[in-house]
Structure 1
Amino acid sequence: MSQYDLLLAGAGHAHLGVLRRWALVERPPGRIALLSPGPEAWYSGMLPGLLAGRYAAADCRLELQPLCRAAKVELIEGEIAALDATSRQVELADGRRLAAEWLALNVGAAVAAPPQQGDAMQLLAVKPFAGFLAGWQQWQAEPRRLAILGGGAAGVELALALAGQVPALALFCAGPLLAGHAPGLRLRALGHLRQRGVQVREHCPIGRIEDDWLLSGDEPVWCGRRLLLASGARAWPWLAASGLACDEQGFVAIRPSLQSQSHAQLFAVGDCASLAGARRSGVYAVRQGPVLAANLQAALQGRPLRQYRPQRHSLALLATGDGGALLAWHDWSAGGQFYGRCKDWLDQRFIQRHRLVG
């Protein structure tokens, strides 16, 4: 079993920020490793542009080895199968075991899927991105009508990116489209979706799949062979099984210091964590990065920890599939090509910032 002073599990936005900070400024002492399922990290904000043909795959991902080398951190590739929170031991799918004095989790979340009876309908989850892109390429060899499950930002962006690439497209939302966002953003998104011929079904939760039918309650609402999952996040089962304190949905309950509420030597950030006021969004994960970097350094050196305070409002920028974007801030919304250029600049800047240090 390999032993580390600190193990960063997952290559999410927050951990990328930590590595970049350590590459530019001296990292904390000790043996440190990054555990990632693969050699690359995908940037989710650029996925709609990739699907719309505006980006190449290489534009949307980061090679982790140069970043780890610059930060003097060992890169380990592997999938987590189990975690023992008390001993901070991680078991990988291939049987390897890793242990650490301090452990940080930035492992994201799975995509929720309705229960399925029969195998007539193919399901493709938007995460993990590498698997999604491989599956989408297979689907595009023979385009068919498609349904997307999820009325959040991801579902809207995917629908607008894919509308012209399939014979017919339907988008299903459990509640209103873009719930929790500015009303103007919802109306602008509905207008774009209708212009692109996307059938939008709001307040239509999909409870189960039977053969090639989607059912809302007991009512069949759509028939087809392909369903794209962009619905809510689902916690990895091994988190709740680890002994960590979790919320009702199985996400790691954390303190404002980003530490686990039950295990002080374990930190959790991003989509796998649960903290009042922090949404499961890349915007929040990026903001957690500097606090996490400071607290990991302080923990290894026995100094007091900082507190993370989630921002009350965050900027929403949704790609419209044609080079434009929809913007929302508080209750104000706008749209057009100018905002698309702003989104492109922000997305490309994120990639370039984390490549330059390699």
Structure 2
Amino acid sequence: MSTHYDLLLIGAGHAHLGVLRRWALVERPPGRIALLSPGPVAWYSGMLPGLLAGRHRAEDCQVELLALCRAAKVELIIAPVESLSAAQQQVQVADGRTFSARWLSLNVGAGIRTPAQQGSAMQLLAVKPFDDFLQGWQRWQAQPEPMAILGGGAAAVELALAVADKVPQLALFCAGHLLDGLTPGLRLRALGHLRQRRVQVREDCPISHINDDCLFSGTEPVWRGTRLLLASGAAAWPWLAHSGLGCDEQGFVLVAPTLQSYTQPSLFAVGDCASLPGARKSGVYAVRQGPVLAFNLQAALRGQPLKAYRPQRHTLALLATGDGGALLDWHGHSAGGQFYGRWKDFLDRGFIRRHRL
């Protein structure tokens, strides 16, 4: 079978799921289209803390891609990306196959930043990719030990609250203030929950490197142990920097408001792998990019004008507290409690239900 497509969707991130759902329900653009995904399911990151806390099952947090692709009349190719050539509009996968297309769309997310490490006494476990993380977490849970989490954002806080009762001791290290950029009231509420769960929080403590079983902040040893969970911010996949695409200093694809690459207009990039002023590395922004991306991909295949995506100025944040509740941040206001946890569960389950069609 030919490996050339009119459009190749690379990655099964939140935006591409929205594109496929829209095409399944409304109208699919003309041409031969395929989705390239490293696995047969797409994980919904918002439900991961609930999964670790024992409140969700793994299947509750997944979207089966084959059914969604069939409904959208899109081929499904299961293989991890090895390399991308922007000039040739071609992607190579791990088993050596290559696929090309007139139009490409990237929604591949990002990895996790990792500090320099000397020695192998400390085990590192990154929260992405989710399949690898869950396998590693199951191994760790077979014999719980003291653990540290590296990261100061919402994901790190949610993970700390989800697993605090599952390990003998837990420390959380963040380079700046906890939940920097969110409402001060939310930060205070989160610190209160972390204290109640006996999580040791170290703010303004950037981890510079790991030496055997010790974390260092500059020249100061700050924690000793053998297990470190990484939730420390997005790191671009190395193959993006070698693709020939224009990238920012961190290796993320520079895109215009139409979500097209500045250097390769026949390629779109959305979600965490893209760099666009005003759009943070958050699933909330990727979901909102989905309708604009669906419109622009259809317009591109039909030779019609594209429209611009404008990042929303205010976003709703709901952080799971590990006990069925959640913390809310909205437009400078914060709140917390079981009501917000039920609201978060309703929104999360709704996302999965919509994409299961």
Instruction: State the TM-score bracket (shorter-chain normalisation).
Output: over 0.9
User: Which residue is equivalent to 1:161?
Assistant: 162
1:256 is matched by which residue type in structure 2? P
Residue deviations 1:214-237 (CA, integer Å, cap 9, x gap): 000010000000000001100011
Alpha-carbon distance in structure 1 between the residues aligned to 2:304 and 2:53:
48
State the SS of the aligned residue for 1:326: strand
User: Which residue is equivalent to 2:332?
Assistant: 331
Residue deviations 1:69-126 (CA, integer Å, cap 9, x gap): 0000000011111111011100111100000000000000010100100000000000
Alpha-carbon distance in structure 2 between the residues aligned to 1:93 and 1:118:
29
Residue deviations 1:238-288 (CA, integer Å, cap 9, x gap): 111111010110000000000001000000000000000000100000000
Alpha-carbon distance in structure 2 between the residues aligned to 1:220 and 1:81:
37
Alpha-carbon distance in structure 2 between the residues aligned to 1:297 and 1:157:
37
1:107 is matched by which residue type in structure 2? V
Aligned length: 356
Alpha-carbon distance in structure 2 between the residues aligned to 1:238 and 1:47:
26
Alpha-carbon distance in structure 2 between the residues aligned to 1:208 and 1:37:
30
Q: Does 1:35 align with 2:5?
A: no
Q: Does 1:322 align with 2:323?
A: yes
Alpha-carbon distance in structure 1 between the residues aligned to 2:83 and 2:133:
24
Q: Does 1:352 align with 2:348?
A: no
The alpha carbon displacement at 1:25 in A equals: 1.2
How do residues 7-46 of structure 1 correspond to structure 2 at under 5 angstroms? 7-46=8-47
Residue deviations 1:12-55 (CA, integer Å, cap 9, x gap): 00000000000001200110000000000000000000000000
Q: Does 1:148 align with 2:138?
A: no
Alpha-carbon distance in structure 1 between the residues aligned to 2:250 and 2:184:
28
Q: Does 1:303 align with 2:327?
A: no
Residue deviations 1:112-157 (CA, integer Å, cap 9, x gap): 1001000000000000111101100000000000000001000000
- Backbone CA RMSD of aligned residues: 0.6
Alpha-carbon distance in structure 1 between the residues aligned to 2:123 and 2:30:
48
User: Which residue is equivalent to 2:173?
Assistant: 172
The alpha carbon displacement at 1:313 in A equals: 1.0
Residue deviations 1:161-204 (CA, integer Å, cap 9, x gap): 00000000000000000000000000000000000000000000
Which runs of structure 1 show a deviation greater than 2 angstroms over 4 or more consecutive aligned residues?
none
User: Which residue is equivalent to 2:213?
Assistant: 212
State the SS of the aligned residue for 1:147: strand
User: Which residue is equivalent to 2:99?
Assistant: 98
What is the aligned-residue identity percentage? 75
Unaligned runs of 5+ in 2: none
State the SS of the aligned residue for 2:232: coil
Alpha-carbon distance in structure 2 between the residues aligned to 1:28 and 1:201:
51
Alpha-carbon distance in structure 2 between the residues aligned to 1:333 and 1:234:
29
Q: TM-score, normalised by structure 1?
A: 0.99
State the SS of the aligned residue for 2:157: helix
Alpha-carbon distance in structure 2 between the residues aligned to 1:315 and 1:305:
28
User: Which residue is equivalent to 1:87?
Assistant: 88
The alpha carbon displacement at 1:330 in A equals: 1.7
Alpha-carbon distance in structure 1 between the residues aligned to 2:168 and 2:321:
19
Alpha-carbon distance in structure 2 between the residues aligned to 1:221 and 1:299:
53
State the SS of the aligned residue for 1:23: helix
Alpha-carbon distance in structure 1 between the residues aligned to 2:124 and 2:62:
24
